[in-house]
Every structure is written in structure tokens, then in C-alpha cells.
Amino acid sequence: MLGFLIGEALRDLRRAGRVAVAAILLITLSLAALGGFWLVSTNVGQAAARWRDRVRIIVYLKREPPPAEAQALVERVQAMAGVATVRYVSKGEALGTLKQVLGKDASVAEQLPTNPLPASLEVTLTADGATPDGARGLIAQLSALNEAEDIGGGIDWIERLARGKRLLEIIGLGVGAVLALAAILTVTTATTLVLHLRRQELEIMRLVGAPEVVVRLPLLLQGMLQGLLGAVMAIWVLIAAYALAGPRLEPLVSQTLGLERLAFLTPQTVVALMFAGTMLGGCGGWLARGRTDR
């Protein structure tokens, strides 16, 4: 029976002709757009993870503590939530670094009567700590330390990255949603057209007492088939775009995002896109199916 129903669905798909092709193309377009934004978001996410590793919060200390106190302070900060590593930088080490940075002008630093640079702690963040909320919470805790004079670094970058990623996701979802809606409507139209084409068959089916599932399932299957075909085509479009554009974009991506290679969608994402396509098509078929009652 299932073979017969699938056969009927394929027959309907052929009958829907250009409208079915239009529906498949729209599903391809919507899923390719969604997949494209997903691809960009994945790569930006990877870049963000790398940048996050480079983000540091600097805690400038009021005075240079003795070694034992410094060690205790490092341990206290290390125990705070969101902290990955803590490194104590003494006043002397800070001046040494400044001289290294100044290079041939290092003599300027030597002319200073006293070392003006404060001792500090360099704090790197865990993944949880590198979120805007996590970083804000950590900065509040660090500011509350009696030894802390001032806090510097990091949070702006983290917030900017998070905003950029969120914006990309919203644009991707928005474009995807609009195209998905258009795809559903087109599948509904294609399936409704088939309903008109096969109204004689439906009449006969009802007349002889065919079960409702036999009347309606081919319409649903037809929609799902359109969705699945659209999803497979969208994935091919993404693979082709990745293969063609990837090598050309990699130098640019390397310079701007710091990524050596552009990543493609994971197998799970590919399966999710195919599932989404099938569901989109099924949704259209389901909506049209309601019209068999009229």
C-alpha cells in the first residue's frame, strides 16, 4: 500500500509540472540562504572563539605586593567563576615589557626617576566568562578586590563580537523565515493544483470508500518529496559555492577573522537542513490537504 501511495505522490508531482518545480526552487533558495547564513555564523563563531582566547582583563594593583601575598591573590582570582588563567606581572616585569616595546627608544624609560608602572594581574577567560554577562560579572568581582586600583581590557570586544554574531543569526533566520513562508505557500499552491487535476480520482476514491489516509497521504508525501528535493539541491548549491568561493575567500578570511580555513556545515547541520526542507514541503502539502474537504 505504501508503495502505491508513494507512486501516486510521484505521479502527482509530475502532474503539478512547473508549479512543483517553482516550489522546489523556492525551497532550495530558502534553505540555501538559511544554510549560507549558518555557514557564515559557524565561521564567525569559530573566529570569536579564537579571539575570546586572546581577550584579557588587566587588574592594576594599588601597590606591589610581596611574593607570598601576590601568590595568594593569584589563587583567589583563579578561584573566581569565568577565570581560565591568572598571571601576576610585577612592576619590574611591566617596565621590562615596555622597554621591549619601545625597542631602540628604550632609553627613554631608563631616564624615568622611578618606575611608574603598576603591578597587575593578567586574567584570561573561560568560554562562560567570555560572554558579555560573564565578563561583566567577573569585572564586578575583580573591582571589589581591596588590592585593585583599576580594571582594563576586553569587554568591548566581547560585546561587539556577541552583537555581530547575534545580528548575523537574526538576519539569517529572518531571510530564511520569509523564504520558508514563500516556499510553504508555493508547495500549497502546487498541491492545490494537483487537487484540481485529480479531483476525479478523489471523487472515485471517496465514492468507493477509500480510507481518508489513502485520500490524503499522497498529498502530504508529495509536499514532503518537494521539500526533500529542494533541501538536497540547496545542499548541493552550498557545496558548490563552498568549493568555488572557499579557496578565493580564504586569504581575506585569514586576514580579517584570523581563520586558516573556512569551515563547512557539520553532517548534523546538513541532516537538519534536509529535515527542515522535508518538513517545509510537508507543511505545504498538509495545508493543501485541508482543501480535499471542500
Partner 1 sequence: MIELHRVWKVFSVGPVKVPALSDVSFRVAKGEFVTLHGASGSGKTTLLRLLYREELPTEGQVDVLDVDVRSLRGSEVAELRRSIGVVFQDAKLLPGRTVYENVAFVLRVLGTPRREITPRVFDALRAVGLSSRAQAYPAQLSQGEAQRAALARAIARKPLILLADEPTGSLDETMAAEVIDIVKDIWAGGTTVLFATHQAILATALRQRTLTLMSGRLIKDEG
> Using CA atoms, how far apart are residues 233 and 144, in angstroms rounded to an integer?
57
Q: How far is CA 227 from CA 134, 221, 236, in A?
A: 41, 10, 14
208-227 positions binding partner 1, by CB under 8 A: 208-212, 214-215
Give the C-alpha separation, 12 to 217, whole Å: 12
Site for partner 1 in 270-289 (CB under 8 A): none
x-or-dash string of contact with partner 1, 104-143, rule CB under 8 A: ----------------------------------------
Q: Does 200 sit near partner 1 (CB under 8 A)?
A: yes
Contacts of 183 (CB under 8 A, 6+ apart): 23, 26, 27, 29, 30, 227, 230, 280, 281, 284
Q: Decide whether 209 or 251 has the Cβ nearer to partner 1.
A: 209
**SS3 call for 3:** helix
Kindly state whether residue 236 participates in binding partner 1, applying the rule CB under 8 A.
no
Contact pattern for partner 1 over residues 4 through 33, marking x by CB under 8 A:
x-----------------------------
By the 8 A CB rule, do 37 and 176 touch?
Answer: yes
Element (H, E) at 247: helix 212-256
Q: By CB under 8 A, tell whether 203 contacts partner 1.
A: yes
Query: Interacting stretch for partner 1, rule CB under 8 A, among 26-34, 84-92, 196-204, 251-259?
Result: 196-204
Does 1 interact with partner 1 (rule: CB under 8 A)? yes
Residue type, 210: A
Find the shortest distance in angstroms from Cβ 205 to partner 1: 5
What is the maximum span of the chain, computed from C-alpha positions, in angstroms? 105
164, three cell numbers? 555581530
Smallest gap, in angstroms, from Cβ of residue 16 to partner 1?
14
User: For binding to partner 1 (CB under 8 A), which residues are involved?
Assistant: 1, 4, 200-201, 203-212, 214-215
